[in-house]
Structure formats: C-alpha cells, structure tokens
Structure 1
C-alpha cells in the first residue's frame, strides 16, 4: 500500500497543480471564443413583467430600455408560419384551449388583457399589444439586436424555417440556438452549425462534473453560452413543477455547487458567457453580478436598466471597489 501511495501522491499532486494552473490560464489550451456580442441586460420573453410577453410591444419596450439580448420562444402554425410564443397550447396565454399547430396564423386568438408573470407570482403584466407576432417581424423590427431563440418542440420543419429566417436576415452571428433538449439541440446545430449555442441541462451537469473533477481546463467546449437559473430564487420567485427540485436541502446544495466564481471566471476567459435567469429583484441582480455572471435575464427591463446604471456608475466611481461578496473570500458567493 505504501509503495503505491509513494508513486500515486506526486502524480495526483502534479495533476491538481496542472489543472489549477490551466483553470486560471485557459488560453494555453483553448482559443478564446469571439462572439459578436457580450450581453449584460437580457429581456425574458421581451420583458414579460412590463408588457404582454413575446409581443412586439414587449420587444420595443426592452430595446428602449437598452437591452443587449431579446429572449424568445418559437412555435409553428398549421400553415407553416413561425410565430413567437412560449406555449404550444394557448390556454394560459389566451384563455383558449387550442394548440398553435392546429391553427393557421390568421386563426390565432389574441392574448388576454393581462398575464401573470411566470417568474414573479402575484404580479401581472398588461399592454396594448395582444397579437402573437411572426418571428420575421421581430427580425425586421430589430435587425441589430442579438436574439436568443428557444426551440421547445422537436419539429425539424420549424428548426429549418428558423434557420432559413436567420440566414435571410443575415443574423447568424447574433442569434443563439437554445433548447432544453439535447436531441433538439443536435438538430439545430446540424441545420445551422454557425449559430452560437447554449448548454443544455445535461451538458450543464457535465460541465459541473468536469469542473469538480479538475478535467474542465483540458476539455474543449462547443457551446458559447451558459443559461441557468440561480438556485436561490427557487421557492421565492421560481417554483419548479417537481417537488424534488423544490427540496430546500437540494436547493442549498445546488447553490453551493453552481454559484462558483472560479467556474464563471474560467468560462468567461474562454469566451463563454453566463446568463442567470429569471431574476426580478434587485437583490438577485446584485448577487448574480457579484458571483461573476456575464448577464442577467429579467422580466423587468426598465428595472434592470436602472439597476445597471447605478451599479456600473458605482463601480466606475469606486475604481472597481464593488467586488463580489464571497462567502469564503474567493470562490463562493453569499447565499
């Protein structure tokens, strides 16, 4: 046993030192990704707390509040039109128990007069625009704004139509493929491999495994964006359907494992941006930035804009004195 340890100890020690060094200096092994955008302010469904979600009015409001990225979801109608809608079934959004895929575009009902904000229960949004828009309309209206498109349905025709629109409007470099499904993401990448992609949940779990095993600095990553919930909002503004995900101990554990400044810093150095969702309170904005997140996804574009003006103004005035508050002085952000 002792002879084995005699040889094993220096090997493990060398591995640990090398891994730590490369974690801090990822440019040695990896070419930095060069996205055409770097997003601080991200509007969830166009800013679903201030205007009816995923409407042109919501997107206009977000852009007027200096958003860096519009987040939206796409579905396809019976007549092959790509529309912007979070849900395939329209009951929550319109009060009509109908599926978008069963209706032509002209048959789509309008949104309700007000909608509850999904990630801020008890709050509602209103607006004058109640029409479900075409994705093409958003592209025409905001040609220069980066857009994050989530594909929820495993529909190859939808994926191809989205890709074709992205190419037609020459926005491949500023449109992100997003999906919670590995299968869908593979199809998106096959159709348009030049668009930047986000980590799926499974790939995100693998990312954490690589980080804690020390292997992350050695492994190439195809993704350009991490989009993740901030665990500390669970049971406050985010209530997952699964009771397991709402377990307080598991929430605490997720927070300790995921909210690591060292991990975020390494990813940023490799050109991979980290967006935390969906944050609607200033204390959560503050914590996300303290932990090193690249950007904040919110339902309240004007609130986040005001916060960032104050936060960034304070950093300039203080010469960067507002460093992140860390529970252990370096790696862990305060819960």
Structure 2
C-alpha cells in the first residue's frame, strides 16, 4: 500500500512539474536570443509570383516587406555555391544534367514557365530574369534580410563554403540553415555553431516523442528553428478524390500530432521560432497564426502580406 502511494505521488509530482515547466520553460532553460523574428517568409523568394529562386523573386519579396527569404543551395563543378532547389536541371531548365557536373558558366537559364510545387495545377511565368544566382549575389543584394538556407546535398565542401560566405558577409546573426537530414544538420552545426540550425526530420520525431511523454520541458535543445509542414494541405496539393483512405488517415494523424498550440507556445517561450510551410491559402494562414506559429512560409508573398495587413498581424521590428 505504501509503495503504491509513493509511486502515485511520484507520478503526480512529475506530471505537475512537467505541466509547470511546459508553461514556464525559462524556470529551467535560458531563453535563446532572437536576433530576428520572421512572420512573413517567402518560399524560394515567392515561387507563385516570380520564377523560383531568382534575383527577381527575391527583389520583389524584399520590396514587398518580407521578413525572410527561403532558398536552396547546391554547388557547381567549379565549387560555386548556387541558389537552386533541384540537383538535376530537367524540371527547371529542361536540361537533363546535374548542377554538380557543370561549372557555373555552363548552367542553363530557367524555363520561362515553372510549376508551383505547393499549389496544385498552378504555374508561374517569369520575366527576363531566368538566371540561376550565386548565394553571394543574394547576400550582396540584401545585406539586412534574414535568409533561410536549405543545404540540399550532403557535401562537406558545400557546407564549408556556405559558412565562409555567411562569415564574409557578416550574416551569422541573419541566417538559419539545415535540412531534413540529421546528418547534414549535424555537419552544419559542427562547421559553424554560431549559425542557428533547423530541426531535422529525425529530430522533429524526437521532439514529438519528448512532448507527448512530458519530457520536453526537461531537455535542452540546440536548434533554434522548427520548420514543419501543415499536413492537412495535402488535399490542396493532390486531387482529394485520388487520395486513398490510408493516405487520408496518415495526413490526419500527422496533422493532429504536429499542429499543437501547446507545443508551439512552449518552443516560442524558449526562443525557438516555429515556421509552417508551404501555405498559400488564407484559411491556412489564419490557422497557423491561431496555433501560435511564429511565421508562415508562402509561395505568394503578396497574398500573405495582404492577409496580415487586413488582420493587423504586425511585422516584427
């Protein structure tokens, strides 16, 4: 009987302590210093309004007032860091060749019309700017704009060169980098721990495990940005009538587990920003902000800005 009472009291104490620390995490952890806060994030520069990952897209987004540019990096044969999502140029340029096998001068221009990945049956037709830019072009053109860098390949030289560029342009306080791969994120952190990193996919799973077991408030976190999809948008990316029952269930389960206000509130209280991608509809913008997300990543920066203006969602200072 005494043993049962002891176990019960121990469990009760743990639950109460966990609940307290979930609400007040700074009792145990020092809040991470936020050198910038991003509510409005332009995915690939705004792939629904200009050709993705081009200087024209980035310029449009920055002039609009975006808080952050999201982009992707690869490396050419002559070790130039370029801004491009795909390793192979077939989709973007119509050329069946890999960026890593070409020098920068050999890279073909983008096609004049590209599909918008996160908007079903949507295409973007660009203007004159079809050039694949260098990462340094972005840093030079927008010295005060935070940039979210997805390191697309597990390449030590690429990671090192991105770090060198960040240091050269004095952007360690304006940059976040990473990838869904835990191996890439570990290499990024090892190369330059002063540049904040994203949660990798395995670390997101660990984060959820810690949250649902009540252990999260007790565990230190090195990452400063949680960047996750809103699983429910799958019905907007694919024809809902073509989704199987299993696919619908998986999307519902993932959405239920990931989209948790208590989790987002705890992380933001610890100075960890939460970005939800890639949202292109106003109902999804509203849901993300209602859940407590720090920022929304979109292909349509003008649409997101108009939504934020109408709903008095202020940009961070």
TM over 0.5, yes or no?
yes
Contact 1:245 1:251 in 2 (8 A): no
- 1:85 counterpart residue number: 84
The equivalences for 1:2-41 within 5 A come to 2-41=1-40
1:245 & 1:84 partners in 2: Cα distance? Answer: 38
- Using the TM superposition, name which of 212-221 and 244-253 deviates more: 244-253
What per-residue deviation string (whole Å, max 9, x for no partner) do you get for residues 230-263 of structure 1? Answer: 1111132269xxx999711111111111111111
- 2:209 counterpart residue number: 209
Contact 1:152 1:180 in 2 (8 A): no
What SS class does the counterpart of residue 73 from structure 1 fall into?
A: strand
The equivalences for 1:133-144 within 5 A come to 133-144=133-144
The equivalences for 1:129-278 within 5 A come to 129-237=129-237, 247-278=247-278
Structure 2 runs not aligned, ≥5 long? none
Contact 1:82 1:134 in 2 (8 A): yes
2:313 & 2:139 partners in 1: Cα distance? Answer: 32
- 2:108 counterpart residue number: 109
Deviation at 1:18, TM superposition (A): 0.6
CA RMSD of aligned residues (A): 1.6
Contact 1:71 1:148 in 2 (8 A): yes
What per-residue deviation string (whole Å, max 9, x for no partner) do you get for residues 59-99 of structure 1? Answer: 00111111101000001111111100000100000011010
Contact 2:55 2:133 in 1 (8 A): yes
What per-residue deviation string (whole Å, max 9, x for no partner) do you get for residues 241-288 of structure 1? Answer: xx9997111111111111111111111100000000000011110110
- 2:74 counterpart residue number: 75
What per-residue deviation string (whole Å, max 9, x for no partner) do you get for residues 34-72 of structure 1? Answer: 121000000000100000000000000111111101000
Higher relative contact order (CA 8 A, sep 6+): 2
What per-residue deviation string (whole Å, max 9, x for no partner) do you get for residues 286-322 of structure 1? Answer: 11011111000000011101000011169xxxxxxxx
What SS class does the counterpart of residue 196 from structure 2 fall into?
A: coil
1:224 & 1:126 partners in 2: Cα distance? Answer: 35
Q: Give aligned pairs, total.
A: 310
Taking a change above 3 Å as real, the CA distance of residues 191 and 291 of structure 1, as seen in their structure-2 partners, is: same
2:204 & 2:238 partners in 1: Cα distance? Answer: 19
- 2:293 counterpart residue number: 293
TM-score, structure 2 length as denominator?
0.95
TM-score, structure 1 length as denominator?
0.90
What per-residue deviation string (whole Å, max 9, x for no partner) do you get for residues 202-252 of structure 1? Answer: 10111111111111111100000000001111132269xxx9997111111
